[in-house]
Amino acid sequence: MTLDALSHNRRLIAALSLTVAVVLFIALNIAATSFFRTARVDLTDKGLFTVSAGTQEILSNLKEPVTLRFFFSRRVAADYAQIQAYGERVRDLLREYQSIAGDKLRVEEIDPEPFSEEEDRALALGITAAPTREGKTIYFGVVGSNSIDGQEVLAYLNQDREQYLEYDLTSLIARLDAEKKPKLGLITNLPLDTGPGGLMAAMQGRSQPYMIYEQITQSFDVVFLEQEFKTISPDIDTLLIAHPKALAPHTLYAIDQFVMRGGRVLAFVDPISEISQTASESGNPLAGSTFSSDLGPLLKAWGIDYDPNLVVADRLRAQRVQYGRTGGQIIDYILWLGLQEADFDRDDIVTSALQVLNLGTPGALKQAEGATTTFVPLVRSSAEAMTMPADDVRGQSDPPSLLARFLPTGERYVIAARISGPVKSAYPDGPPAEPAAAPEEGAEEETAESSEALPAHLPESANPANIIVMADSDIFDDRFWVQVQQFLGQRMAVPIADNAAFVLNAAENLLGSSALISLRTRASSTRPFAVVDELRRRAETRYLAEQQRLEAKLDETQSRIDALQRTARPDGASGAVLTPEQEAEIDRFLKERAATRGELRTVQRELTREIESLGTMLAIINIALVPIVVAGVAIALAVLRSRRRHQRVAEGTGGG
């Protein structure tokens, strides 16, 4: 074979190989589009785009058929890349749901064209019409229905809640599949259903319920129990007790006997409830608000030792707040805690997936001596914590002063715990005696009737108790855990912490359900930089003492100036007159005050500069390290390949 023929054959083979490669590439893309539309690789840290076991459990065990109607303005959304991409994700997720549920889940996609019957249908079912800048309308929501006329609506799938998409869709399906909502008895002195405005705002039509309460009502049939009752209806399986007022003995006895009969309790007590003290329009706390709460003898009977006069302070988990004369300084507030994954029981389903809990002025729980129950901590402080008397920190808003008094004990204080096992009644001798009252006509008959209405007294629990107690009520406060946004006339919750997840997880677990628990905490908006926080904390510790010294010196200098000016000799014609010595003294103090302020600004500036430099250094490492490593590997491979090539050339030359 000649050299030209050999060269021609090589070109022909190369052309055929290239043609085959192109055909295979196109065929592979067509096959992937047809058979692997829902297949994907999830490289996120928390597996945000992988269907959870809870979703698979709910979809695989649907009792009756569920229909999901996905309303999406495909043509209008084509002009908006982000909405179009999110719509594709929703579509793929619904297809994946359908493949898991089989015939029990039907998915319909509807494109509501303007002035069409589909648009009228979308509006009638409660889908929100979102206007665009060009005057068009986008419909982007889901309506679910079951075979018995049950209906649930996600009016608009806002991208701000994309990380909660699976939870929103799965919980909607779970509600449609449930025969009825479980009943949850609610005992509280917090304005959960009206928001900070209280009853007055509700009467004026301006109430905004706390977001946790809204989520509770979506999952449970909430029955409000007045804080004065003698019995609890047997159709209530679980009680939610949230910072009640001081309960009367007969009310405590009713709760006690509810537990003896096998009822479950989720209780929130608090040494200092900031949500209860939220100011109303008048600027004062709501009428009837409760500063601290306890459950009398019940906690002791359940095996819990709780002192309502102690508050947990934690330097390592302190939240950052604005402080200072101008509000420009950011500092740790050790009474507000941002608890992290290391602080939760990873073996309990209620807390196993929690990432962040934001609490305010919590208390501490311990196992009582001689307890017959099992005490399992669910939420703890860090080891850099201590307890402070509630009276000493009541109304205290001076973070530097609190930090100056902070002396960690090394103990991790229990803030929430699960109580299980046999429980003895807090009232071993039966119902407490009724308080004496002035006799009235028919009073004897009423007393006899009320006594007969009480169930038989149980001195100990018929079944092992299951109780969860948290020493904090500010977990319900929106400002601690959620960003509430107004979108197209509707309130939308974008969580920054898992406060709602803890409450809902605990309630569902006590009711015997756990499928949705694995979904709620799959993603959190806040990803704390632990290394940066630790470096910042050390820097602040160094500068805090100097800052406090300078502020004290500044206050003392100002006091001396004020004292000298008050001692000035009055003169009717020219006002206050100072002696030359006093003027010189004031001038010296003014210069000292200016110098002290300068030193204070320098300290604050140095602190800010050090923290910023730490953050910049870590950012450079995170951003530049990977490209540098990749480039280094590429250069090393290129050098190695070049050396091997030269070696082969040298060996070939030598052999010739």
Contacts of 93 (CB under 8 A, 6+ apart): 51, 165, 166, 169
Going by C-beta distance under 8 Å and a sequence separation of 6 or more, which residues neighbour residue 159? 82, 83, 86
Report the distance separating Cα 211 and Cα 477, nearest Å.
Answer: 8
pTM beyond cutoff 0.75: no
Q: Cα–Cα distance between 595 and 557 in angstroms, integer?
A: 11
Better-predicted residue by pLDDT, 651 or 451: 651
Q: CA 501 to CA 351: how far, in whole Å?
A: 9
Q: What is the CA radius of gyration of the chain?
A: 33
**Looking at per-residue confidence, does 343 or 579 come out higher?**
343
pLDDT per position as a tens digit, 339-362: 999 999 999 989 988 999 999 999
Strand 183-188 vs strand 221-224: parallel, antiparallel, or unpaired? parallel
Amino acid at 180: K
**Which letter does DSSP use for residue 132 in this model?**
P
**650: region left, alpha or beta (phi > 0 left; psi from -120 to 50 alpha):** alpha
Task: Assess whether pLDDT exceeds 90 at residue 312.
Answer: yes
* Length of the chain in terms of residues written: 656
Determine the Cα–Cα distance for residues 386 and 366; give it in Å rounded to an integer: 14
Separation CA 578–CA 571 (nearest Å): 10
Q: CB of 473 within 8 A of CB of 243?
A: yes
Cα 325 from Cα 376, distance rounded (Å) = 44
Q: What does 294-308 look like in DSSP terms, one character per residue?
A: --TTHHHHTTEEE-T
Q: How far apart are CA 93 and CA 39, in angstroms?
A: 10
To the nearest 10 degrees (0 to 180), the angle between helices 81-101 and 165-177 is 40
Quick one: pLDDT band at residue 279, thresholds 50, 70, 90?
low
Q: 49 Cβ partners below 8 Å, 6+ apart?
A: 40, 42
Q: What is the mean pLDDT of residues 75-92?
A: 90
Residue with tokens 């100990």: 460
Cα dihedral: 448, 452, 458, 463 (round 10): -150
Residue 459 has pLDDT above 90, yes or no: yes
Residue 449 has pLDDT above 50, yes or no: no
User: Which residue did the predictor score with more confidence, 11 or 126?
Assistant: 126
- The segment with the largest mean pLDDT, out of 278-282, 489-493, 573-577, 618-622, is 489-493
- Greatest distance between any 2 Cα atoms in the chain: 128
Give which of 541, 468, 472, 548 is closest to 509, Cα–Cα: 468
Q: Summarize pLDDT for 191-213 with one digit per residue, the tens.
A: 998 887 656 655 555 668 999 99
Token output for 590: 């003014």
Cα dist. 142→68, 71, 118 in Å?
7, 6, 13
What's the whole-number mean pLDDT along residues 591-606? 69
Distance, CA of 146 to CA of 164 (rounded, Å): 23
Cβ neighbourhood burial of 483 (10 Å; 0-12, 13-18, 19+): middle
State residue 118's pLDDT score.
Answer: 92
SS3 content of the chain, % helix, strand, coil (to 5): 45, 20, 35
List the structure tokens of 237. Answer: 């399986």
| pLDDT level of residue 96 (50, 70, 90 thresholds) | very high
The least confident of 38-52, 157-171, 509-523, 579-593 is: 38-52
- For the record, the structure tokens of 60 come out as 């695989």
How far is the first Cα of the chain from the last one, in angstroms, to the nearest whole number?
A: 24
Half-sphere exposure at residue 538, Cβ-oriented, CA atoms within 13 angstroms: 7
Band the pLDDT of 272: cuts 50, 70, 90: very high
Which of 32-41, 454-463, 643-652 shows the highest mean pLDDT? 454-463
Cβ neighbourhood burial of 397 (10 Å; 0-12, 13-18, 19+):
exposed
**pLDDT for res 529:** 56
With bands split at pLDDT 50, 70 and 90, how would you rate the model's confidence at 19?
confident
Please spell the DSSP secondary structure of 451-473, one letter per residue: HHHSPPP-SB-SS-EEEEEES-S
Which tens digit of pLDDT belongs to each residue from 30-46? 766 555 554 555 555 55
Confirm if 311 and 305 have CB atoms less than 8 A apart.
no
**What percentage of the chain carries pLDDT values higher than 70?**
73
Cβ partners under 8 Å of residue 213, min gap 6: 192, 193, 476
- Nearest-5° Cα angle at 213, 210 to 219: 150
CB-based contact 256:426 (threshold 8 Å): yes
* Phi, psi for residue 645 in degrees, rounded to 5: -65, -45
Q: What is the pLDDT of residue 358?
A: 96
**Do 359 and 397 contact (CB within 8 A), yes or no?**
no
Phi, psi of 577 (to 5 degrees): -120, 130
Q: Tokens in use for 22?
A: 């192109």
Q: Residue 199: its pLDDT value, please? A: 61
